[in-house]
Structure 1
Amino acid sequence: MMTIRQTAVSFAAFLALASPALGQSSRSLGPSTGSVRIEQVQAGFIASGEAGGGTLRFRGRSYPITVGGLGIGSIGASRTVASGSVYGLRNVSDFAGAYVQLKEGWAVGDQGRGTVWLRNDKGVTLNLATRRQGLQLSLGADGVLIGFKR
């Protein structure tokens, strides 16, 4: 079992790695190279989990995707629909992989909203606006795996 101190140190290191994505603005990322829509279910009590899928639109084509992840900084449960822009995508194969996600948002009934930034090691960044339904408060970071449906 990890101690509280080990957990705090691990989380601080995670946020340090993730901070470049948080500091970005869509202007500094250049033009959008695609768009994405994701639907997922999230649940958590400090630690959180999420699973779902969606669609990547890139160079006039649609690609079905899967999304799953684990994180910290969430209490409650919600269904989330997120959509937004993709930046830095040069090849469709660069989209799949592990992302760091920084999130903030809330949900009470069907009135929830939030913002999510995700970035992978290939320089692909997602800036998503979220709509949530349920009862949840989120402020934290996650590791997210995005893949293509087969």
Structure 2
Amino acid sequence: MRSASRRFLAALALSGAWVLPAGAEPVLGPVMAEVTFKTRSADLGVGYTWGTGVLTYGGHDYPFEVSGASAAAIGFSSGNSVGKVYNLQRLEDFAGTYWSLSGETTIGKGVAGHLMENDSGVRIRLDEIRTGGRLAASPSRLTIRFLPAAKTTGTDSPAKKN
């Protein structure tokens, strides 16, 4: 019973990190693009996250990879994320290093949320469904890089549609 109580309290404490990004949308302004991610995270105090994703912007899909580090987490999880991108004026502004505060409670299956921002002022709000076993309430630094296929189509104007 004691273990279950601790898990419940940890989940309750971390749920605030997931709800905060959901309530932040009116402040962030209009949605400029959408993203999907498939990531994995492995942590033992300090951790590593890696994966791939797709940015949908101006009627085009741009594949990218993501990798980075986090602190104050333990466990392993993988999952899928969907998100909205704000303040993206040019495609070139999307790639870069993002900082976020995130929370995750995964025991079998769980949820996580992120509100990330890069040096160009681009913000991403992510909602995630995770599987595995991980507890995290930490700052994260993630780097997004377009994959080579995206660089060849990245010269298209965002307003241009096929």
Normalising by structure 2, we get a TM-score of 0.76
Cα root mean square deviation, aligned: 1.5
The whole-number CA distance in structure 2 between the counterparts of 1:94 and 1:144 is 15
Structure 1 stretches of 4+ with a deviation exceeding 4 A read none
The whole-number CA distance in structure 1 between the counterparts of 2:120 and 2:24 is 18
Identity, % of aligned positions: 30
Q: Which position in structure 1 is the counterpart of 2:42?
A: 43
**Mapping for residues 1-150 of structure 1, pairs under 5 Å:** 25-109=24-108, 111-150=109-148
Name stretches of at least 5 consecutive residues in structure 1 with no aligned partner: 1-21
What one-letter code is carried by the residue in structure 1 that aligns with 2:114?
V
- 2:27 partner SS: coil
Q: Which has the higher strand share?
A: 1
What one-letter code is carried by the residue in structure 2 that aligns with 1:73?
A
Q: CA deviation at 1:80?
A: 2.0
Number of corresponding residues: 128
The whole-number CA distance in structure 1 between the counterparts of 2:128 and 2:146 is 21
What one-letter code is carried by the residue in structure 2 that aligns with 1:146?
I
Q: CA deviation at 1:48?
A: 0.7
The whole-number CA distance in structure 1 between the counterparts of 2:81 and 2:136 is 14
- 2:92 partner SS: helix
The whole-number CA distance in structure 2 between the counterparts of 1:36 and 1:112 is 20
What one-letter code is carried by the residue in structure 1 that aligns with 2:95?
A
What one-letter code is carried by the residue in structure 1 that aligns with 2:110?
G
Larger Rg: 2
The whole-number CA distance in structure 2 between the counterparts of 1:139 and 1:108 is 15
Name stretches of at least 5 consecutive residues in structure 2 with no aligned partner: 1-20, 149-162
